[in-house]
Amino acid sequence: MRLIRKLIFNLAVLVPAAVLLGLGTAWYMVQAGTRLSTRTIGPWVAWTGAGRPEAEPYTRAHIALNGVLPVSSTSEIAFRAKTDSDGGRLTSGCDYAVAMEDFEPQWWNLAVFDGSGALVANAAERYAFSSGSAMREPDGRTLIAVARDARPGNWLPSGRSNRIVLVLTIQDASWAAAIHNGGAPKVMPRIVRTGCR
Amino acid sequence: MRAWPGQLWRTPRGWLARLPPARMLLKQALGLLLRLRLPGWLRRLGLRRIAAVVLLAGIVHICATLATPVLSSRHAFLLLRDKLSANRMVVLPPQAPGQQLLPWLPPHMLYAICRYDLSGGPVTVRATVADAGWALSLHATQGENFYVLPGQPLRRTEVSLVLVPKGPETPLIPRAESISDTPVVSPTREGLIVLRAPLHGLAWAAETEAMLQRATCTQARRAD
């Protein structure tokens, strides 16, 4: 009787607990990423093996679950930021300044998405800036205002979606190689919260 | 300490030599584990059960991670397969909310995409990669990018590729349309060819679109 009770306990409690633990940790490592698969520079996180045929299993699973089509990280690298440079969650309820100083890759594109990768609807129909379309300050910096309401200069509307994610795509082989090979971190743009409503 | 002539490995030296033997280390680790102050409910479970749960969780973790790319129905290729006809380059309208082709795809760009299918023979790809930000990328069914040509600032590159399937029949297939065709071996029979062009403003939109329209992706003639 005791043996049967033990068996029922093992099957009803321990096996589901183990399965949940296994699935939960796999889900976390595939969606959030860890040091094994990602590189973090300030608030920016990149999947270093994205797009590569020899990518490790977590990156492959991440690509498969998110429906993305990444260009090989040897020539281009995409960073996502869910927080500002002080660690606060990015939301459309706050305004942010993305400051690019000494940031000189060959080409870049900065876009705003909601948490699921959808573009944020806005009346200006503006969803991204790139190195070819953003205006520079007289001192050479590029400042991009991510805000719900119109701002002078490079205004990137954050719409009315609650959580937002900034995606910075950099096309530059030397940058991509440095990130991929774990070299010295490049200067990345800072995301500064300028106010909340 | 000198190694014996017939020894398979060298006797450790330096800091390695000062380490206790492996068996001792194992015993110490087990002792530490047993002395851990586990919560009462975990202690009642017993170490054997905890170890079994951890082991099973590890197996589930590995299986789930490895199975996801195979079982997922959210691959970019699967999301696009029904929307694109085979071996035809299609220039897509600019992305807008609610009309996105794929999640997380950089906006403020124009895309031309071809779903290639090599079951009828190799596929020829011709495109122009005009400037920085442009990219021609070839993806297998699970999103792996097995070929990419990124654009270079102010340098226009004409590309001509013959995409051939991987396998023993590979050498029989290509009779290149021209000598300049570069053969590229695709790891899968189907996949996606993506030509991406950044939009620098309305003034250049028509020219950019025209360059994308000129890109082709066609079934090549079979070798006789």
A46-52 contacts: CB < 8 A, separation 24 or more? A46/A73, A46/A77, A46/A78, A46/A79, A46/A80, A46/A179, A47/A73, A47/A78, A48/A73, A48/A77, A48/A179, A48/A180, A49/A73, A49/A180, A50/A77, A50/A78, A51/B137, A51/B139, A51/B143, A51/B144, A51/B145, A51/B148, A52/B144, A52/B145
- The share of chain A scoring above pLDDT 70, in percent, equals 99
Q: Are A20 and A81 part of one and the same domain?
A: no
Residue type, B91: V
CA distance A133 to B198: 10
For residue B174, pLDDT beyond 60: no
Residue window 41-100, chain A: list those with CB within 8 Å of chain B. 51-53, 55, 57-58, 60-61, 63-72, 74-76, 78
Nearest to B202 by CA among B117, B110, B97: B110
Residue type, B56: L
CA distance A60 to A172: 23
Say if the Cβ atoms of A64 and B68 lie within 8 Å.
yes
Query: What is the pLDDT, as a whole number, of residue B3?
Result: 45
Q: Residue B1's pLDDT band (boundaries 50, 70, 90)? A: very low
Over residues A4-11, mean pLDDT: 80
**B194 to chain A: nearest residue by CA?**
A69
Residue B7: phi and psi, rounded to 5, are -70, 140
Over residues B21-41, mean pLDDT: 70
Q: Are A113 and A23 part of one and the same domain?
A: no
Residue type, A91: T
Count up the domains in chain A and report the number. 2
**In chain A, how many H helices and how many E strands?**
4, 10
Per DSSP, helices labelled H in chain B are 15-18, 22-35, 40-45, 47-71, 76-81, 202-213
CA distance A119 to B105: 9
Query: What is the pLDDT, as a whole number, of residue A185?
Result: 63
DSSP A13: I
Q: Are A10 and A50 part of one and the same domain?
A: no
For residue B192, pLDDT beyond 80: yes
Range with the poorest average pLDDT among A188-197, B63-72, B145-154, B187-196: B145-154
Residues of A in contact with B104 (CB under 8 A): 66-68, 78, 113, 117, 167
Q: Are A90 and A138 part of one and the same domain?
A: yes
Residues of B in contact with A14 (CB under 8 A): 45, 49, 52-53
Residues of A in contact with B198 (CB under 8 A): 107, 109, 130, 132-133
Over the stretch B79-93, which tens digit does the pLDDT of each residue have?
Answer: 999 899 999 999 998
Residue A109: phi and psi, rounded to 5, are -145, 130
Over residues A49-65, mean pLDDT: 90
Q: Are A41 and A26 part of one and the same domain?
A: no
Q: Are A94 and A188 part of one and the same domain?
A: yes
ipTM (interface pTM): 0.85
Q: Are A101 and A182 part of one and the same domain?
A: yes
Query: What is the pLDDT, as a whole number, of residue B64?
Result: 96
Chain A to chain B Cβ contacts (< 8 Å)? 195
Task: Assign residue A171 the CATH number of its domain.
Answer: 2.60.120.600
Q: Are A42 and A27 part of one and the same domain?
A: no
Over residues B30-55, mean pLDDT: 76
SS3 (DSSP) at A173: helix
* Domain that includes residue A18, residue range: 1-31
Q: Are A104 and A156 part of one and the same domain?
A: yes
CA distances from A174 to A103, B91, B198 (A): 13, 30, 20
Q: Are A49 and A22 part of one and the same domain?
A: no
Overall pTM > 0.90: no
SS3 annotation, A114-159: ECCCCECCCCCCCCEEECCCCCCCCCCCEEEEEECCCCCCEEEECC
Instruction: Find the helix packing angle between A15-31 and B47-71, rounded to 10°.
Output: 50
Q: Between A77 and A181, whose confidence is greater?
A: A77
Q: Are A55 and A108 part of one and the same domain?
A: yes
The structure tokens listed for B166 are: 């991987």
Residue type, B9: W
Q: Residue A162's pLDDT band (boundaries 50, 70, 90)? A: confident
Q: Are A24 and A118 part of one and the same domain?
A: no
Q: Residue B147's pLDDT band (boundaries 50, 70, 90)? A: very high
Q: Of all helices (H) and strands (E), which one includes residue A8?
A: helix A2-9
